[in-house]
Homo-oligomer: A and B are copies of this chain.
């Protein structure tokens, strides 16, 4: 089964908002064996929505729209659905009752009338109630094809998908499993990697596919298999992983998981190691990456963000003399930060970053895009330097955070 997604809303076209809904929906669909073949992002115009629905149904049997259902007048999805399906709009009492209860629970009874329109739905539609907002989900089936319209707010979309739509689709259709394996390769230029594994890639049995996903200095080799026998497709993937590993050995830091933070999670629990962070130029990004995994409290003890360099001295015990002689963006300061940090929190691992994210330099006129980071694992310490002047501020923070964890994992894997 193939799906197409339609994201409706000028806020994405004008570059205000990143479309995270499509990513979420596509991933959830893939997990139950439905492949998303196209995503359309369009403006809130009735004719455009109708035309796009037509195009979407040309490539897919399942079309999911997000957005354009709010109570304000810039929202036109419902009317487009009505015209597309030649239907009429009717007030649904069950939906209205649900809406009233929701608003009452939120002490917003006074808004019931203003939101009544949200209970007006297509007469042919199956309605799924919204427990996190006012617009319900409508599903219309016609000629074996399904259109589903969802609101645009991500925290409404997610529970709709997870709790209602995915179970509905699984119940209704006989869907294959889609399995993936991710091999994380580091310090291996993509072109060289592609050359070195080309004969292996050539022999991959159908329907297994391979893609290359670079992130920071890591390349994720992603193998995907599809079929109705889960054990069989998993086994087929394992066979291919076992074949390719000897070719790229020494460069592989994990053979599972997308996220570097997930790889770290399992590794630290397995090795029973605790971790602390002192980050300045990454401003919280490294800590957030680590803490984004549920269960991080098993190893993540604490972070210090000494954003004002004086706090490096005060909290972490970096020597004022070192900052004066080497400047705050230096190997020595990174080392003293991780040293002070390990003493402070008594963790097995201490990570520190010091650098200049830009676009403006610091009071020491450090070169923008420079970062030193120190990785301390018990008695072992290694300092790294990166120079990333081409990265914008947030990308710099995110790249450095990825790279620090990548290097930490490489160290932990080697010293296993």
B258 touches A283 (CB 8 A): no
Please provide the chain A residues from 21 to 69 with a CB less than 8 Å away from any CB of chain B in the complex: 22-30, 35-43, 48, 55
Please provide the chain A residues from 289 to 315 with a CB less than 8 Å away from any CB of chain B in the complex: 289-292, 294-297, 300-308, 311, 315
A390 touches B155 (CB 8 A): yes
A222 touches B394 (CB 8 A): no
B304 touches A360 (CB 8 A): no
Q: Shortest Cβ distance from A401 into chain B, in angstroms?
A: 9
Question: How far apart sit A302 and B314, CA to CA, in the bound complex (Å)?
Answer: 11
Q: Which residue of B is nearest A258, CB measured? A: B16
Task: Out of B14, B27, B159, B285, name the residue touching A27 (CB < 8 Å).
Answer: B14
A294 touches B359 (CB 8 A): yes
B194 touches A71 (CB 8 A): yes
B305 touches A305 (CB 8 A): yes
Contact digits for A194-209, partner B, Cβ 8 Å, 1 yes 0 no: 1100000100000000
Interface of A is mostly: mixed
Q: A72-B190, A302-B307 are in contact. Are A26 and B22 (CB under 8 A)?
A: no
Task: Out of B36, B74, B283, B315, name the residue touching A291 (CB < 8 Å).
Answer: B283
Task: Out of B37, B43, B360, name the residue touching A43 (CB < 8 Å).
Answer: B37
* A13 adjacent to chain B (CB < 8 Å): yes
Q: How many residues of A contact B (CB 8 A)?
A: 105
Contact digits for A1-18, partner B, Cβ 8 Å, 1 yes 0 no: 000000100111111111
Q: A39-B40, A292-B394, A302-B307 are in contact. List 15 more A-B contacts (CB 8 A).
A: A11-B222, A14-B30, A15-B22, A16-B222, A16-B258, A39-B39, A41-B41, A55-B55, A72-B194, A115-B191, A131-B390, A283-B292, A284-B285, A284-B286, A292-B397
Q: What residues make up the interface of A, taking CB atoms closer than 8 Å to B?
A: 7, 10-20, 22-30, 35-43, 48, 55, 70-74, 108, 110-111, 114-115, 131-132, 134, 153-155, 158-159, 189-192, 194-195, 201, 210-214, 222, 224, 258, 277, 283-292, 294-297, 300-308, 311, 315, 345, 357-360, 362, 390-395, 397, 399
Q: List 9 A-B contacts (CB under 8 A).
A: A7-B39, A11-B213, A13-B37, A71-B194, A72-B212, A283-B288, A284-B288, A284-B305, A287-B287
